[in-house]
Amino acid sequence: MTRVLIVDDEPQILRALRINLTARQYDVIVAADGTQALHAAAHEHPDLVVLDLGLPDVDGVEVIRKLRTWSPVPIIVVSGRAGSADKVDALDAGADDYVTKPFNMDELLARLRAVTRRLAEADVPATSRIGAYEVDLTAHTVNDTAGGDPVHLTRTEWLLLEALIRHPGALITQRQLLQQVWGPTYATETQYLRQYMAQLRRKLESDPARPRHLLTEPGMGYRFLP
């Protein structure tokens, strides 16, 4: 189920979008200002953000900029600002699409589906191998291909493992992982990474002391090698 964060200070719009999206099997989170939006994005890990620009505390463009410092989540702006300069500012800040109020619900739903399709097309395969284990990102399962018991991962372990698997071979910095998994206020808490990476290696690596798949780049970050 796709999780959508809706950010708007107009209660009637929040209500209308929540009802329509929930009816179409979206998991909906709402926020009435920029501060709530950033907190929800950090702690609820939405798959999409629908964002108004005219927020009471932080301008929506600034919310986009702050999100983009640590999250690649797709952002669709829904705003009463119809000027081309406003659209350019939002898109330059990192928005993926722009819908002008008043909007047609069917159009907005089509934009949501289009972004979801792009995500699926750009995604890595749903399954990946780590030694004897097959990791299924869609089903959230880790099965032993030799016939042993499935491996149970905590929610945090899943978030960390998925962040690495979705970028095979790439170096993911400590700061990027901390912000993506725990949120922007944890950007320097490297002990969390060490602890959870050690747990993942104990569960998935045949020799946790000499990992072959979940690798550390000292002083920089971590890398997943399939």
Can you give the chain as a three-state secondary structure string?
CCEEEEECCCHHHHHHHHHHHHHCCCEEEEECCHHHHHHHHHHHCCCEEEECCCCCCCCHHHHHHHHHCCCCCCEEEEECCCCHHHHHHHHHHCCCEEEECCCCHHHHHHHHHHHHHHHHHHCCCCEEEECCEEEECCCCEEEECCCCCCCCCCHHHHHHHHHHHCCCCCEEEHHHHHHHHCCHHHCCCHHHHHHHHHHHHHHHCCCCCCCCCEEEECCCEEEECC
Share of the chain above pLDDT 90, in %: 46
pLDDT recorded at residue 168: 80
pLDDT recorded at residue 125: 62
Average pLDDT, the chain: 88
Give the Cα-Cα-Cα angle 93, 74, 14 (nearest 5 degrees).
95
Question: What is d(CA 72, CA 207) in angstroms, rounded to the nearest whole number?
Answer: 33
**What average pLDDT does range 161-175 have in this prediction?**
83
- Least confident residue range of 28-32, 44-48, 99-103, 186-190: 186-190
- Distance linking the first and last C-alpha atoms of the chain: 27
**What average pLDDT does range 144-173 have in this prediction?**
87
For residues 180 and 27, the model is more confident at 27
Is-above-0.85 flag for pTM?
no
pLDDT exceeds cutoff 90 at 127: no
pLDDT recorded at residue 170: 74
What would the pLDDT profile of 77-126 be if each residue is shown by its tens digit? 998 887 778 888 888 888 888 888 888 899 899 888 887 776 665 555 67
pLDDT exceeds cutoff 90 at 197: yes
pLDDT exceeds cutoff 80 at 15: yes
Residue 161's φ and ψ, nearest 5 degrees, are -65, -40
Most confident stretch, 38-52, 87-101, 103-117, 178-192: 38-52
